Structure 1
Amino acid sequence: LNPGISETILSGDKLLISSEVNYVRVQVTKTETHTESIAYTSTNVNNANLYTGTKKVTTKGVNGVQQVTELVTYIDGTRVSSKEVSRVTLSEPVNEVIQIGTKAPVTGKGVSGGKVITTGGRFVWPAIGASSISSGYGGARRHGGIDIVKPGGGSTGLTIVAAASGTVTTATYHPSWGYYIVINHGNGLSTLYAHTLPGSFKVRVGQKVSAGQPIAKIGSSGNVTGPHLHFEVYVNGRRTNPMPYLGR
């Protein structure tokens, strides 16, 4: 590598350590496949059997899947370009269908006629066909609400309705309340409906309801001595007497 250089290296001598080697860049082109989602769309359908303000998903949306094939070029291991070769749909998207309620809330007067009644208060009466209060608010029992029954018996199975419009925040079981529902009406106001008939829930958590909309049926679930609707009103998380809200 160093002709003319003796074994003795003097100061200032230049030595060639190795010969120049040209750098060879490596280019590779290969076929690659991957999958991509096909977004589903949502369709709203008016439903005259659902109350205004109520939405119900009748068909759940599911994204579709498509397979994409590409020619991809790499130089020294770095991806530098790609070209789509084909795109094949593996599964079509399932579009979401949402039922939008258009039915007006039931209104009117009179219990015997089987209609929601208004009593001059802020709320409608929460039970159709049950007009008597068997146990009032407060008293020695410190009762947190009122118990509503049908005069003369036969309360089981009567319809419970939302006292005002709002959003269902609870629909579950409690050892004392039995199957119960809570509706948030906004501005710190909510109502509770307890001891409902098992399997009678007509609403779910997150659902918007209108005043007078059926939500369950009167039963005797939980810690009770007989069928009735236990109805409570909360203001900013504290129980309050329901009677002024019902106009009584």
Structure 2
Amino acid sequence: MNSQDQKVVVITGASQGIGAALVDAYRKLGYAVVATSRTIAPSGDAGVLTVQGDIADPATAERVIAAGVERFGRIDTLVNNAGLFVAKPFTDYTADDYAGVTGVNLTGFFRITQLTIGHMLAQGGGGHIVNITTSLVDNADSKVPSVLASLTKGGLQSATKSLAIEYATRGIRSNAVSPGTIRTPMHPAETHAALAGLQPVGRLGEESDIVDAVIYLENAPFVTGEILHVDGGVSAGH
């Protein structure tokens, strides 16, 4: 068990890319971490509890939060980082595409966020929800047809503001980071040059850019309901 004054963060999609980088960043801040993904391996760090599971299954959310509270005694922050991105012409999306993307991006957000906020309220209020969205929500691009991303992450972005207002007087903040195209394992190396050309600044973002944005929001007590664009200028136009 950790001491009750140590803060605890839950991070979804935590086994690689931005999620794994967030685990490291929150540990550096002194947080205990509950890290979940389908394939996550056990951690040798006593301050990191890993829980395997598909976040699209609400039972995974129940296990993650129960395990985190049992080990660390509290939950202070939830980073909804897990996400699926499938870019296809709208009429090419299959029923499996729809089920897969909505399962992770919407269902995966919904139950774990409910459980987290329930624990925050039971602790007496106070806490932070951070959702990772995508710049395509605000800035559709004809070169990247992505209705399922906009449908799901757009819902997440609206929910971010709704949660911020619903819980503003109880000290629970809700914010989102809206990334542009980031150099992660999601994008094969041979696509990087073409993707960089789509960004106003002419390069891809780095995982550290998104991590820095999340940590800024973590340490910004007067910021809630914010959609922080970290997108190399995409949100400003082309």
Same fold (TM > 0.5)? no
TM-score between the two structures when normalised by the length of structure 1: 0.23
Higher strand proportion: 1
Structure with the larger helix share: 2
Which entry has the higher C-alpha Rg, 1 or 2?
Answer: 1
